[in-house]
Amino acid sequence: MDKEITIYDIAKGVGFSPTTVSRALNDHPAVNKKTKQRIYDIAAQMGYRSNLFASNLRRQHTNTIGVIVPILNSNFQSSVMAGMEKVANEAGYNLIISQSLGTMEKEIANAKTMYNSRVDGLLVSLSHDSESIEHFEPFFKKGIPVIFYDRVAEHKQSTSIVIDNVQAAYKATTHLIEQGCRNIVHITGNLKINVYTDRLKGFKYALVDNDLPYKKASVIATDLTEEAGIKAAEQILKMDPRPDGIFVANDFCAVNCMKALKQAGIAIPDDIAVVGFNNDPITRVVEPNLTTIDYPGYEMGEVAARNLTNYLDALSDVNITNTVTLRSDLIVRESSLKKKLKK
């Protein structure tokens, strides 16, 4: 293995002191351009690599931002990452990304790794079973900014980036009611997570405002996976009376529920109208195309990263606004449009 080239090796090669070499490589104004260029050329020929990590530690920052996500293989999280990457790179920061795999245990380990890696700030979407954010306290105590997005937790030293999940769910449920649905089932996720508790609230409010009864039996709590969608469909098929509308808290589960219902002979939307959530690409492939809530993942990533980089660059304070709420829209497609109501 080749020896790592140091400024002392370069100094010997060019006949200048290590101090002059160091200043030249750091573009110090005390070194003239001709000398800098000569030192740059020799350094490149020798294969010198600047030790940015050590340099950044001396300056008390690493120009890195940690990101902890529940899972990476989702269209929503991929969109969020793209938005974060764009803003972070433009501001001169690199992202270190890890996934909790939906468990608090892994999230705790990720947080510890990020802390020990001396990230300048942290962007977090909480895991499926996170009931505490105590593992982020070392960041708060050190004054390292933490911004939560999507799956968030309230903390006086942090900002949360969300959509109005209550309003979005209200829109989705109201749309089904406007299509003539009177017996609507809501398929949701872990109700300990803010996004799902808020979507359930919106579902309830829409029923109440339209004089329809809320029944606990009409709420199916799942992990929103493919298998959960199929099992939910089996449960719905056994209900008497059978539901005429379904609002699902994510598109992936909605699509698999819809497919299972169709295989059982249910006509979508004539027998049962279906609405999902997220506006994943799969919504435009399945037949009929799925009505859904557009969740602005890319914008959420941009806003979260911009809030953090602005704070790190002393342009703003993450404590000024505790919650930033982004707009979301209902996208109506064929899966919820009952034929008798079509124009």
Tell me if 41 is assigned to some domain.
yes
Q: What is the mean pLDDT of residues 304-309?
A: 94
Find the domain containing 36 and state its range.
Answer: 7-50
Mean pLDDT of the chain: 89
What pLDDT, on the 0 to 100 scale, is given for residue 56?
A: 52
Same-domain pairing of 125 and 214:
no
Same-domain pairing of 313 and 281:
no
Same-domain pairing of 68 and 31:
no
- pLDDT of 48 above 90: no
What pLDDT, on the 0 to 100 scale, is given for residue 341?
A: 46
Asked if 223 and 192 touch (Cβ cutoff 8 Å), the reply is: no
Same-domain pairing of 206 and 335:
yes
Same-domain pairing of 283 and 301:
no
Instruction: Give the DSSP letter string of 199-256.
Output: HHHHHHHHHHHTT----GGGEEE---SHHHHHHHHHHHHT-SSPPSEEEESSHHHHHH
List the CATH number of the domain containing 42.
1.10.260.40
What pLDDT, on the 0 to 100 scale, is given for residue 60?
A: 62
Same-domain pairing of 205 and 245:
yes
Same-domain pairing of 258 and 335:
yes
- pLDDT of 300 above 90: yes
What pLDDT, on the 0 to 100 scale, is given for residue 59?
A: 52
Tell me if 58 is assigned to some domain.
no
Same-domain pairing of 302 and 157:
yes
Same-domain pairing of 217 and 337:
yes
Tell me if 334 is assigned to some domain.
yes
Tell me if 59 is assigned to some domain.
no
- pLDDT of 343 above 50: no
Tell me if 154 is assigned to some domain.
yes
DSSP code for 330: E
CB atoms under 10 Å from CB of 119, counted, come to 24
Same-domain pairing of 11 and 107:
no
For the chain, the domain total comes to: 3
261-282 burial, b if ≥16 CB within 10 A, otherwise e? bbeeebebbeebbbbbbbbbeb
List the CATH number of the domain containing 102.
3.40.50.2300
Both structure tokens of 70: 């529940």
For residues 102 and 81, give the distance between their C-alpha atoms in angstroms, rounded to a whole number. Answer: 17
Tell me if 57 is assigned to some domain.
no
Same-domain pairing of 128 and 115:
yes
Tell me if 270 is assigned to some domain.
yes
Tell me if 231 is assigned to some domain.
yes
More confident position, 299 or 342:
299
Same-domain pairing of 273 and 185:
yes
Is residue 320 very low, low, confident or very high in pLDDT (cuts 50, 70, 90)? Answer: low
What pLDDT, on the 0 to 100 scale, is given for residue 314?
A: 76
Asked if 95 and 65 touch (Cβ cutoff 8 Å), the reply is: yes
Predicted TM-score (pTM) of the model is 0.78
